[in-house]
Every structure is written in C-alpha cells, then in structure tokens.
Chain A
C-alpha cells in the first residue's frame, strides 16, 4: 500500500493585519505528515510554528487571516470547509495540545468534565459514559488514582499532571493527527522526560500522527522521525531526523546546531549566529536569513530562493545548497 500523507500543508500564508503594518507570520509554509508519523517543527520565536498550527485548526486569533495556500487533510481541503464542518474536525480528527496547560484548562470546572465535554461533543454518549471514558484515558496517560483526579480542579494539580490531562483530552476522540505545541517547555527537565516518554508510548498505542512543535533540537533528535526547520515564517529545510542532523543543507540549521551548548563536549567558545530574529513587518529582501547567514551572496539579497526538492524526500530553501558543504556540529 502506498502511504498517502494524512495532512498536507502547501504554500500556507497567514498574515496579521496590525496597526503597525502587515505581519507576514507564515509566508509560504509546506508541511507533510504521514500516518502515524512524528514530525518535528523547529524554529525560534516568531518563526511561525504556532501560527501554522493555529491555521491548520483554523483558530488564528484576530487580526490574523489565512490568505493563501492549501491544507489538505485526508483528501479534504480544510480551508474550504464551513465553520460547522470544521467543528467536527477540531478535537475529533485533529487535536491540539497547547504549550501551557495552566492557561488552557478551565479553572472553574473539574478536569474530568473538561475531557467529557470533548467526548460528548463528538460522540453520542451520556455524561456518565463520557466520564468513564475520561477515567480510562487518565489511566492511560499514567495518572494515578484517576477516579479521584477527575473530580479535582486544575489548581489542585501540578504542572506535569495538568499536561497529562491536556494530552488525555487531545486523545479523547481518537484523532488521527495531534498538533503538540511545545508541550514540555513549561515543565521541569525530569517531568519533561516523563512526558516525552509518554508521548512516544501513546503514539504506538493509538497509532496517531503527531506534529511536535519545539525550539529544542535535542527533543527533535530524541522523538521525531522527520523534521521541518522554520525561520521567519518560511521553511528552511525538511528531511528525516537523521538526514538533517547528519548533513544539514541549510546554513540556518547548521548554525542552530552549532550554537547549542552540548552536554557531552565542552567548547571554549560557542559559535554565534549574529544579529536577531527579523521583524516580520519588513522582512529582509530575498532570502530572509541572508543578513545573519555567513554564506550569503548577492543573489541571496536579491531573490528569494525556491523550496527545492533535492532527492531522498528532502527539501531545501537555499540558493547555494549545491555548492555548500555544511558541517553538523553534533554528528560524531
């Protein structure tokens, strides 16, 4: 059987129409997720990771608007669905795990009710059945004493437990894709390790595809099959995790890998990416990375490169990928 992508985003453009000008937060992003696959979506703040996820769910906050591209999910174009059709997709077929569980769980309802609400919205079940299902789910995300927990309020729970609840809620209707937006950033390292392990297990058990949004290259290497690197609202490159970490093809990926301090080896001085993340109201001309790129030439200033297929399922957004011999700081 040919594996068809379950979610395909092509040329997505989401702009924010602010008083200061038009912020091109997402400007032509491509993303492809196959069934049961874990895709890393890496970038710094302002690279468009979260806005892409919000665009897929069609929950972009005002003054943002998706003005171009296609989002194909199981053969349907999500952007052409009506709002009520979209409500059947949200939570049921595509679920979202937000970054900070503290702000996304409602403080005035017990957590069990919040999971049951999602189940009752999409399935014809009584509240009792929904709560029973919620209890089961809490059990499968590794929460002890689920019968007690479903009656507790968010403030009674720790950060790690709240994130487990958010994960249980995302799983409640057996979605085929989960968008996880920095699900471990707000947590301590030892709790982060627990949650990463849990997500890996659940993915096997529920056979769900996951888009893992993060800024941590370590997490990508640890959990993802494929990775898409973003910079300033555009894709730099995509490939399998091994390919990208071993042989990065985009100068930004190379720079990102070498500027992260390593636990295993100590360098005298960290290599630095000069400058700052650009302002997206007036992004740099040509390739958006050129002002910070150490390989930039005149063509990079004048012309925005195409996202080119370079074989082996890899795509690169750089004029000079053919001539550059980029090194990976981590490949030993």
Chain B
C-alpha cells in the first residue's frame, strides 16, 4: 500500500507502505504530527489519499470507495471499523447506549429488526457492560466504560478489521489495563485484525505483534514486536525507547535526549527527515533519503548509520 496525501503543502504521510496480516495487531508508533492518524483515516477512506492504494483481502478498496455505489461502500464499511481516541467526543450525548449500539443496524440493515435487541445486549455483555446500562446516556459513564461502548458499536457490524486510534490514551492508568485486555480477548474470540495507533511504546509492546515506527510522515523502522524491542536499530526508535521513564528507581539507564523538536511537515528536512536531531548522522543523511530495506529477517529499516543490534538494554 502506498499513500501520498497533500493538503496545500503539508505532506502528512509520504510514500508509506506496509501490510497487516489476518488476525494480527500492527502498532503504529510516533509522536504528534508523525502521520499515524492520517494513515488510519486514509485506509478507511475517511480521508481520501492524494495518491496510493489500500488493498483489503486482495481488493483495491481505495478504488472501490472512489467509484462504488452506496451498497458496495456500506459492505466495505462493515468489514472495517474505527475506534476513536476520545470516548468523550465520539458518543452522541443525546442518544442512549442502546440507540448508539443499534444505529449501525439501522444504517447497514444487516440483521432483521426483531434480532436487534438481542444482538445489542449480546454486544453489551461482550464488552463487559451490564444489561441495565442500555437505557443510560453517555454522561453517566466513566471514560473506560465509554470506550467499551465505542468498542461495542464498532463490533455491531461484525468487522474483520478495526483501526484503534489511541484507544487508551485518555483513560486513567488503572482502567487502561482493562481495555487492553478486552481488545486482546476480542481478537482471540472473534479473530479481528487491529491497527493499533499509539504514542506509548509500553502499551504497544504489550498488545502488538508487529510495530511500525513513524517520524514526520515516514515509516523509519518496522519489525516483529520482540525483535524491535530487543534490537532497535534506527536512532529515532532507540531515542524513543530510552525516553520512556521506567517504573523502577534502581534502573538508571542511559537516556538519549534528542535536541530540538519535530520539524514542520510543510518543509521537511532534506534527505533523512530525522537528520537534524540525529545523534548518529553522517554526511549522506542530509543529502539522500534512506530507503526502507530489510536488514534482518522481517526487520525493515530506513537508515544509513543505524545502531548495532542489542544496543539499548545492554
């Protein structure tokens, strides 16, 4: 899949390609402005990509979304769903939970009307809520419960793929674990494939099978989760990992502090976009853009001067 989006001069996501396998969770990590959300929105055609295509089960769905009629688009939407970051903003305050979860039934008409209530209660229980919650309004729920409602709504159309955009970022620490466990359980039970977007590497390590690290609209490194965390090679990945405070006062690890800030995507730096902040830059970095190459089995990297393997936790 290759995406290229252009609004005015902002290249939010530039020439990004990756695959997600069935029943897999792929993590998309990066700081604000790196293009994580834009990728997910383009994949579901919530935002039309400037160029590039998304293939879903072998079908070029970007083409389908552009040309197809409403029935065909709805059929695709049933396969792919989205969970938004902020469960306070993504639930209509004037609808009851029952209405919220049953709205997809009304739009898609994929199950007969007399089954609606049964299915709605089934979904509620599936996400760990109780039957009596159906009559309530969103403001009566805590953040974690609201995110459960959002998940139930996404599941209402039996999707095969869900893009989860920072689903736990706005939740309290003690309820994050509940939602992460729920997402994992649902994957095992229903065989769902996830794209999991986050800026928090520790939740990514927990939930994802593979992880792609993004910087300023580019994927700089992608690998299996354990491989990436054991052998991070790109200087940005290494810095990102070392920047996360570890909850153990005895573990005083050397921290790489990156100078400066993420530059504006309106005029990204020449060559490798990370070179102005990179502690390992060499001459070529400012001149040529490094290609994304497979450097170890299943481990792709875009860097001219990476760290040696097994560097970070040594």
Give me the interface of A with B, judged by CB distance under 8 Å: 44-45, 158, 160-161, 188-194, 196-197, 215-223, 241-242, 245-246, 255-257, 259-264, 266-267, 269-274, 276-277, 330-332
Contact = CB atoms under 8 A, between A and B. Distances in A.
A104 B250 CA distance: 35
Residue of B31, B176, B177, B201 contacting most chain A CB atoms (<10 Å)? B177
Contact of A270 (B180, B229, B241, B246): B180
Nearest to A262: B202
Interface string B19-31: 0000000000001
Contacts of A259: 173-174, 176-177
Contacts of A44: 172-174
24 contacts: A44-B173, A188-B31, A188-B199, A189-B199, A189-B240, A190-B240, A192-B243, A193-B243, A220-B247, A221-B245, A222-B245, A255-B174, A256-B174, A259-B177, A260-B177, A260-B202, A263-B202, A263-B241, A264-B246, A269-B181, A272-B177, A273-B177, A331-B248, A332-B250
Given A276-B144, A276-B145, A263 B181 contact: no
B261 interface: yes
Contacts of B142: 276-277
Interface of B: 31-32, 142, 144-145, 172-178, 180-181, 184, 199, 201-203, 205-206, 225-226, 229, 239-251, 255, 257-258, 261-262, 313
Given A188-B262, A266-B205, A266-B206, A273 B246 contact: no
Contacts of A256: 173-174
Contacts of B202: 260-263
B114 to A, nearest CB: 34
Nearest to B145: A276
4 smallest beta-carbon distances between A and B, as pairs: A218-B245, A193-B243, A270-B177, A261-B206
Given A188-B199, A242-B250, A267-B206, A272 B181 contact: yes
Given A219-B245, A221-B248, A277-B174, A190 B199 contact: no
Given A216-B245, A257-B247, A276-B145, A197 B173 contact: no
Nearest to B185: A269
B174 A270 contact: no
A190 B142 CA distance: 30
B172 to A, nearest CB: 4
